[in-house]
Chain A
Amino acid sequence: MALELKMPALSPTMEEGTLAKWLVKEGDSVSAGDILAEIETDKATMEFGAVDEGTIGKIVVPEGTENVKVGEVIATMAGEGGDEAPADAGSTQAVKDVPGEGKDVGRDEPGEPPLAKEPKAEPARDPEVPEGTAMTTVTVREALRDAMAEEMRSDDRVFVMGEEVAQYQGAYKVTQGLLDEFGPKRVIDTPITEYGFAGIGTGAAMGGLRPIVEFMTFNFAMQAIDHIINSAAKTNYMSGGQMRCPVVFRGPNGAASRVGAQHSQNYGPWYASVPGLIVIAPYDAADAKGLLKAAIRSEDPVVFLENELVYGRSFEVPDLEDWVLPIGKARIVREGSDVTIVSYSIGVGLALEAAETLAGEGIDAEVIDLRTLRPLDKEAILASLAKTNRLIIAEEGWPTCSIASEVVTICMEEGFDHLDAPVLRVCDEDVPLPYAANLEKLALIDAPRIVAAARKVCYRD
């Protein structure tokens, strides 16, 4: 029975690609799993493998052909697989190289995943940037890498350690290129032993080095949380200020895309509840860079929470030789007068999107990016509240004992007189994150929910 081999889709959104290379010729017999061809798109090279055994009949599309449509017949195969063989007898093999996406997950989700959509609304320019500074557009991923590289160049006590950070170039490619530049002494691949290497990093900091400990994701830092809290956070205090612990724990935090309950959690509130820690959770690339540099230079232990879905987003970063931001300062990313939306990390993008919608309805929202979760910039929150008299918090995380709860408390304790409406929290649903696409979408915050809360505090719903 002749089978048709069709141009495979590398991702559900792929429409066409280049048939880069045939690895078989007409008349070759192949067995299931053999690599037949290499397919290229602008993003990646993919191997195309046989699912059935059989003999390659005719090669219909020669190698080097560009713009081959997905589903187009590229070759025929005389199969032995019987009539149950699927019509497309090939399967996509391992994706070979998606720049910056050599991660565990694989690829962007079809359609519109709940949080992955890049919002159109950009944060306003940071007043910290001097007038007239040239800006360069970079991804958050690159900004983080640049921050580490710059600090490693200027301070030889700084080194990076973690799972897959060196040879693999980072599970999420954040440490890309660091091994090449700094070598294996300063870019260290660890085994999968979070508790152990977090302890080693903490101890190295106590002994005078400046470790950056990468967790593949913060979900795995739960294996290591004892060292972050008991060893790193409390040492300075317990030693009466004698023994410092200038370590940075960094990695992606919060929900990613369809990876289920054990891999999707926001630890911001956990770490932010611990005295002795600095907790930073930036949104855009300029903050990621300026704050990571500040974190590395800090004498205190820092938990630096990134977000996988934001790594690939591009923002402007000032072209300055040494762009370092102050820790503990929030930033107004959109000025407004009717209602304040406080947020951090990925929530900022959603808050900005919500603000755009609200503007269309005549509600002028101010958006505040907390940037640092501990110490929290109370003054910025209260000043904005004094201006708008209404406040909501948008947080990609559970509502109970959250950063949102903390902000509500601050408003009650110190901003009560300025309130014209109750402060509202817009958080994820209070459940472990489900895998099913529809349920995941329901569980996570989105711009419409922020819009609804803003309308409510403006009594416009």
Chain B
Amino acid sequence: MAKPASKSTARKSAPAKKAAAPKSPAEDLDFVLHSLQEEHAKSPRYKAKDEELLKLYEQMLLIRRFEERAGQLYGLGLIGGFCHLYIGQEAVAVGLQSALTEGLDSVITGYRDHGHMLAYGIDPKVIMAELTGREAGISKGKGGSMHMFSTEHRFYGGHGIVGAQVSLGGGLALGHQYRGDGGLCLAYFGDGAANQGQVYETMNMASLWKLPIVFAIENNQYAMGTSTARSSAETEFYRRGTAFRIPGMDVNGMDVLEVRQAAEVAFRHVREGNGPVLMELNTYRYRGHSMSDPAKYRTREEVQDQREHNDPIERAKKELLERGKSEDDLKDIDKRIRAQVSESADFAENSPEPEPAELYTDVLVESY
């Protein structure tokens, strides 16, 4: 059986064993470290209304189709440099993002950022146009795929240096606390990034100062060609906050409703002023790390197995069909999304390159 699901199933029995000798929260000094996980285990899946599930499905499908098209444009030479696709991981961004308060909470991530931006409702056209390096791109073509931002949507990037977004996220959270606006920061990073030192410096301060931040580790099992087992002494990433007294949650990131429910639990804890939560979202990237990747570090069968048994979009689709949606309805949705993606690709291909004078703008804000 494929890994992410089995990993969380296997682990769910562990807290249960501990529960054999129940301690009251007052006796159990570590209660807070596992209480969220237990709360989530009681009711792991979000009880989505039909329209809600449909919306989550559409968002995931938009990411999938967008990324497939980005891959094609890369093959055609319209996108250059790096291009890190989010295919396979859609349920993570969509599930988490859907539980945020729009216009209040902030989000920050690394270079694998197209999916997060789409989940945030940012126009696919300006994202695609950034990938092709055009004037109409969200960073005027100056950032590229790894460096995209939308302060309007409180999306703070899009960062190319592995791990940097975690401490920056701590700063965004400090801002929420400082202003007392009730918002939180959702900081995404990878299993590889989880080994950077600044991550732990940030965790310590975030816990010490009770910053409203959710550390969301997207464990897609590889950092470029390195599996978690080869890079990490502790591969149960949800435990990585224990030393800083940050509660951990181990979540099946291939099921959008599980992700959503876990987010409900985590965000509530943070919003109540209890400080950070660390979520490990177990997921899988289907494509290479960037566009070219010798992919000798894993077998084709492993990838195929994930796609067949764990695909988040297929899972949601199946559930929608069980709930009475017709194949035709879903086809219409796919058609509409394909049209939207095609439109964004055409837009990205046809908008002009930045004016040469743009080279010198935006270096500094003021003139001196």
Contact = CB atoms under 8 A, between A and B. Distances in A.
A84 B342 contact: yes
B144 A260 contact: yes
Given A11-B77, A192-B196, A437-B80, A105 B159 contact: no
B161 to A, nearest CB: 6
Interface in A72-123: 80-86, 88, 91-98, 101-107, 109-110
A328 to B, nearest CB: 33
Given A33-B307, A442-B359, A91 B72 contact: yes
Contacts of A261: 142-143, 147
Instruction: Name which of A12, A82, A110, A434 has the most chain B CB atoms within 10 A of its CB.
Output: A434
A184 B192 CA distance: 20
A96 B291 contact: no
Contacts of A223: 161, 163, 196, 198
Contacts, number: 210
B161 A220 contact: yes
Interface in A408-454: 429-432, 434-439, 442-443
Given A8-B75, A192-B162, A95 B292 contact: yes
B81 interface: yes
Contacts of B363: 430-432
Contacts of B339: 84
Contacts of A91: 68, 71-72, 75
Instruction: Name which of A8, A94, A97, A443 has the most chain B CB atoms within 10 A of its CB.
Output: A94
B353 A12 contact: no
B295 interface: yes
Contacts of B82: 104-106, 259-260, 263
A195 interface: yes
Interface in B128-166: 130, 133-134, 137, 139, 141-147, 159-163
Contact of B142 (A80, A110, A435): A435
A222 B160 CA distance: 13
B81 A435 contact: yes
Given A261-B147, A439-B354, A191 B81 contact: no
A257 interface: yes
A230 to B, nearest CB: 15
A168 B81 contact: no
B146 A260 contact: yes
A439 B80 contact: no
A35 interface: yes
A51 interface: yes
A102 B163 CA distance: 23
A167 B297 contact: yes
B81 A260 contact: yes
B22 interface: no
A51 B76 contact: no
Given A193-B197, A262-B160, A435-B81, A94 B288 contact: yes
Interface string B295-319: 1110010000001000000000000
Given A82-B331, A82-B334, A223-B196, A257 B286 contact: no
Nearest to A171: B224
Contacts of B72: 51, 86, 88, 91-92
Interface residues of B, number: 70
Interface in B256-312: 286-297, 300, 307
A439 B139 CA distance: 13
Contact of B77 (A12, A195, A222, A259): A12
A436 B354 contact: yes
B192 A9 contact: no
B358 A94 contact: no
A434 B160 contact: no
Interface stretch (B118-126, B180-188, B226-234, B237-245): B226-234
Interface in A148-166: 163-164
A110 B77 contact: yes
B68 A94 contact: no
Nearest to B71: A91
Contacts of A98: 292, 294
A196 B289 contact: no
A81 B81 contact: no
Contacts of A88: 72
Contact of B293 (A32, A94, A263): A94
Instruction: Name which of A35, A101, A171, A263 has the most chain B CB atoms within 10 A of its CB.
Output: A263
A435 B133 contact: yes
A195 B142 contact: no
Given A105-B82, A164-B225, A439-B141, A12 B76 contact: yes
Interface string A186-197: 000101110110
Contacts of B291: 94-95, 105-107
A361 to B, nearest CB: 27
Contact of B144 (A84, A93, A193, A259): A259
A451 to B, nearest CB: 20
B359 A104 contact: no
A258 B353 CA distance: 14
A185 B162 CA distance: 26
A384 interface: no
A9 to B, nearest CB: 6
Nearest to B291: A106
B143 A439 contact: no
Interface in B98-134: 130, 133-134
A11 B75 CA distance: 6
Contact of B294 (A8, A102, A258): A102
Contacts of A402: none
Instruction: Name which of A11, A97, A193 has the most chain B CB atoms within 10 A of its CB.
Output: A193
A322 B121 CA distance: 61
Given A260-B81, A260-B160, A436 B133 contact: yes
B354 A192 contact: no
B360 interface: yes
Contacts of A443: 359
A94 B147 contact: no
Contacts of B141: 434-436, 439
A10 B74 CA distance: 10
Nearest to B300: A35
Nearest to A32: B68
Which 3 A-B pairs rank lowest in CB-CB distance, beginning with the nearest? A12-B77, A435-B144, A106-B292
Interface of A: 8-12, 32-33, 35, 51, 80-86, 88, 91-98, 101-107, 109-110, 163-164, 167-168, 171, 189, 191-193, 195-196, 219-220, 222-223, 256-263, 429-432, 434-439, 442-443
Given A429-B359, A439-B353, 11 more contacts: A32-B64, A82-B334, A86-B342, A91-B71, A95-B291, A104-B82, A110-B77, A189-B230, A191-B226, A261-B142, A263-B82
15 contacts: A51-B72, A86-B342, A92-B71, A98-B292, A104-B82, A163-B226, A168-B296, A193-B197, A223-B163, A257-B81, A260-B144, A262-B146, A262-B160, A435-B139, A439-B356
